[in-house]
């Protein structure tokens, strides 16, 4: 994949920061994808970029909260980028500006493309998906909504649940453009990765559909 080039690396200032939720014992494919994302962000932006782990049991929500509140406690806005997602720097800068202008969650893309190995182009295309990929939110909004729900363990639904709580308070906004999901393994029919624990996925879906909400 040809990575988007640098545009205006200092246009959003250094106070904003990027948190990437990270599981330290990830597969080799995930490690390579995350390495690509981190190196890319550090080369095309002036933003502080941190990988945030949270120990066991692995909770991407807890990793994001820890990154925002402990590793980048003074970052405002906070940008959450998945460890497998590439978004051009001008889209990230636009999302940060929008997050500064008004409260609420801002997606840094409208079209989500998922790579497949050994094939030209992309097999999966999603318009305005509810999952994270790359989002920006002001520090005040992040704290008002209560951060991510840390009860979600393993893969799935914590990002959609967070977006729902944000949407209950403020309009969700999007920056026009593409996010590219780097391939790191095959997926099941429910879209969960094969290396994700199926029991965790089912429990997360149950919590998302029937659990009480953070801050409710």
**CATH code of the domain made up of 17-210:** 3.90.550.10
Write down the pLDDT at residue 178. 95
Residue 116's pLDDT band (cuts 50, 70, 90): confident
More confident residue, 106 or 126: 106
Could you state, in order of their start, the residue ranges of all structural domains in the chain?
A: 17-210
- Which position has the higher pLDDT, 97 or 127? 97
For residue 123, the model assigns a pLDDT of 62
Average pLDDT in the chain? 89
CA–CA dist 33, 139 (Å, integer):
28
Percent of the chain with pLDDT over 70: 89
Mean pLDDT on 147-155: 96
| Average pLDDT estimate for 107-125 | 77
Please report which confidence band the pLDDT of residue 193 belongs to, taking 50, 70 and 90 as the band edges: confident
Given a contact cutoff of 8 angstroms between Cβ atoms, the answer to whether 154 and 192 are in contact is no
**Which strands form 78-81's sheet, in the order they lie side by side?**
48-52, 17-21, 78-81, 134-137, 106-107, 173-174
| In contact, 171 and 103? CB cutoff 8 Å | no
Q: Crossing angle for the helix pair 198-210 and 158-169, nearest 10 degrees?
A: 20
Closest CA to 182 of 18, 20, 43, 8: 20
CA 48 to each of CA 38, 87, 137, 141, 171: distance values in angstroms, whole numbers, following the listed order: 10, 16, 15, 20, 27
Asked if the model's pLDDT at residue 19 lies above 90, the reply is yes
Which pLDDT value is given to residue 126? 85
Name 193's Cβ contacts closer than 8 Å, sequence gap at least 6: 155, 184, 185, 186, 187
- Mean pLDDT across the stretch 124-149? 93
Could you tell me the two tokens for 208? 């998302």
Task: Please give the structure tokens belonging to residue 97.
Answer: 């500006």
Reply yes or no on whether the pLDDT at 80 is more than 60: yes
Q: Dihedrals φ, ψ of 203, to 5°?
A: -65, -40
Q: What is the mean pLDDT of the segment spanning 33-40?
A: 95
Whether the per-residue pLDDT at 148 is higher than 80: the answer is: yes
Q: How far is the C-alpha of 107 from the C-alpha of 131, rounded, in Å?
A: 9
Task: Decide if pLDDT at 215 tops 70.
Answer: no
22 or 126: whose pLDDT is higher? 22
* Distance between CA atoms of residues 174 and 74, nearest Å: 24
Q: What is the largest CA-CA distance in the chain?
A: 46
Whether 98 has a pLDDT exceeding 60, the answer reads yes
Tokens of 150: 């840390």
- Residue 159's CB is within 10 A of a number of other CB atoms, namely 23
* Separation between Cα atoms, residue 181 and residue 33, nearest integer Å: 9
Please state the pTM of the whole predicted model.
0.90
Averaged pLDDT, 12-28: 85
């Amino acid at each position: 994949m040809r990575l988007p080039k640098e545009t205006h690396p200092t246009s959003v200032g250094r106070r904003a920061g990027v948190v990437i939720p990270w599981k330290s014992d990830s597969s080799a494919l995930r490690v390579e994808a995350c390495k690509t994302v981190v190196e890319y962000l550090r080369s095309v932006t002036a933003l502080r970029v941190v990988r945030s782990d949270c120990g066991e049991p692995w909770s991407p929500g807890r990793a994001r909260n820890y990154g925002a509140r402990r590793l980048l406690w003074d970052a405002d806005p906070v940008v959450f980028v998945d460890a497998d997602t590439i978004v051009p720097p001008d889209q990230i800068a636009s999302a940060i500006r929008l997050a500064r202008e008004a409260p609420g969650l801002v997606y840094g893309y409208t079209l989500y493309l998922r790579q497949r190995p050994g094939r030209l182009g992309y097999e999966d295309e999603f318009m305005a998906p509810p999952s994270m990929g790359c989002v920006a939110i002001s520090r005040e909004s992040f704290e008002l909504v209560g951060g991510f729900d840390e009860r979600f363990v393993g893969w799935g639904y914590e990002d959609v649940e967070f977006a729902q709580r944000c949407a209950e308070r403020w309009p969700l906004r999007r920056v026009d453009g593409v996010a590219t999901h780097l391939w790191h393994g095959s997926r099941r029919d429910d879209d969960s990765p094969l290396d994700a624990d199926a029991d965790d996925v089912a429990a997360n879906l149950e919590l998302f559909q029937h659990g009480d909400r953070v801050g409710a």
